[in-house]
């Protein structure tokens, strides 16, 4: 119950913060911020306190595997949108891919160890990032009213509640698959796609996938250190690693954009 209440509070707040970052800086920065483990961190901490270090290690590893579904969603949604599909078709395509990948993840998650989770999550995220459509420059989102930000937060809350209820009634295997679906990412994607178009949507997804380096680092450090070093030390180090990797992702993203701009100019795009 505490975990569910915390997720209800944190997930909409992260959507609001990401929306404001999209407006203030760029859609890519908003995507980077949305990838920060501000939701999974407290949830893993509660898991460690309630169930112990071993259970928290397993949960962190399973969370890494769940990033495969996020990578699939981001890539398929962006590709569908770039091909001319509207937000509804793009969302359906993205969620369908995430659901299929979520089912596959459930088959391997029971016996998966940390190295498997780390390797598969990294490969999925890097592959999806590289396969995104190439678009030049930074893209800013238009200003959203307070009403729209509240609507985004409400949509996120509704998805969190819906997935939690489905998990409760459909059983652990189907529920785990549903819980892995990218609720926060889908809300940001739809609103960005509708308001600001495909370039901003692709920039958002590019930032999201790049920023997942911090997410992966956080979960990996928690899984690696919590048993031998204790909860406090593990989460402190994991937070520092996440911040450092997010910063590196930001710098690398700027360099990638510069190279992409130069290449597209050469091609006359």
pTM of the model: 0.81
Question: Comparing C-alpha atoms, which of 266, 212, 268 is closest to residue 64?
Answer: 212
Q: What pLDDT was estimated at residue 252?
A: 76
- For the range 141-145, what are the long-range contacts, defined as Cβ-Cβ under 8 Å and sequence gap of 24 or more? 141/19, 141/22, 141/23, 141/26, 141/27, 141/30, 141/192, 141/195, 141/196, 141/200, 142/23, 142/195, 142/196, 143/23, 144/19, 144/23, 144/191, 144/195
pLDDT digits (tens, 9 = 90+) for 96-131: 998 888 878 877 766 667 888 889 889 999 999 999
More confident residue, 209 or 57: 209
- Sorted by sequence, the CB contacts under 8 Å of residue 16 that are 6+ apart come out as 149, 152, 153
Could you give the CA distance from residue 244 to residue 247 in angstroms, rounded to a whole number?
Answer: 5
42: confidence class by pLDDT, cuts 50, 70, 90 = confident
Task: Give the position of tokens 């985004």.
Answer: 152
Dihedral angle sign, alpha carbons of residues 215, 220, 223, 227: negative
Span 193-202, mean pLDDT?
88
pLDDT exceeds cutoff 90 at 77: yes
User: Average pLDDT for residues 28-45, to the nearest whole number?
Assistant: 80
Question: For 228, what's the count of Cα atoms within 13 Å in the CB-facing half-sphere?
Answer: 4
Stronger pLDDT, 17 or 64, i.e. the higher one: 64
Domain boundaries, the chain: 2-266
Residue 194 has pLDDT above 90, yes or no: no
CA distance 211 to 107: 27
Judged against a pLDDT cut of 70, whether residue 56 lies above it is answered with yes
CA-wise closest residue to 99 among 69, 142, 78, 64: 69
pLDDT of residue 107: 74
Q: What is the pLDDT at residue 184? A: 80
Q: b vs e for 125-163, b when ≥16 Cβ sit within 10 Å of the residue's Cβ?
A: beebbeebbebeebbbbeebeeeebeebbebbbebbeeb
* CA–CA separation, 110 and 119 (whole Å): 16
Confidence band of 36 (pLDDT split at 50, 70, 90): confident
Determine which of 107-111, 178-182, 203-207 has the lowest per-residue pLDDT on average. Answer: 178-182
Name the least confident of 80-94, 144-158, 232-246.
144-158
Q: What distance separates the 2 farthest-apart alpha carbons in the chain? A: 58
Confidence of residue 139 (pLDDT cuts 50, 70, 90): low
Q: Is the distance from CB of 64 to CB of 219 less than 8 angstroms?
A: yes
When pLDDT is averaged across residues 137-142 and rounded to a whole number, the result is: 54
- Band (pLDDT 50/70/90 cuts) for residue 3 is low
């Amino acid at each position: 119950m505490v975990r569910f209440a915390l997720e209800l509070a944190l997930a909409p707040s992260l959507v609001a913060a990401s929306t404001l970052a999209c407006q203030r800086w760029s859609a890519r920065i908003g995507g980077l911020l949305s990838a920060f483990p501000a939701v999974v961190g407290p949830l893993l901490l509660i898991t460690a306190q309630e169930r112990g270090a071993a259970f928290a290690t397993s949960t962190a590893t399973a969370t890494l595997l769940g990033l495969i579904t996020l990578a699939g969603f981001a890539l398929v949604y962006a590709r569908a949108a770039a091909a001319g599909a509207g937000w509804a078709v793009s969302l359906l395509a993205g969620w369908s891919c995430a659901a299929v990948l979520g089912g596959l993840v459930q088959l391997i998650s029971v016996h998966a160890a940390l190295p498997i989770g780390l390797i598969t999550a990294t490969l999925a995220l890097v592959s999806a990032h590289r396969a995104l459509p190439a678009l030049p420059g930074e893209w800013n989102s238009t200003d959203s009213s307070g009403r729209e930000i509240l609507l985004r937060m409400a949509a996120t809350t509704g998805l969190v509640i819906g997935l939690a209820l489905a998990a409760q009634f459909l059983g652990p295997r189907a529920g785990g698959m549903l819980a892995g679906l990218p609720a926060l990412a889908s809300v940001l994607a739809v609103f960005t796609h509708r308001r600001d178009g495909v370039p901003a949507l692709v920039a958002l997804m590019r930032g999201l996938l790049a920023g997942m380096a911090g997410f992966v680092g956080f979960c990996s450090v928690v899984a690696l250190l919590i048993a031998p070093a204790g909860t406090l030390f593990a989460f402190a180090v994991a937070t520092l690693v996440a911040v450092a990797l997010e910063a590196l992702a930001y710098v690398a993203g700027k360099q990638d954009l510069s190279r992409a701009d130069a290449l597209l100019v050469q091609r006359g795009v």
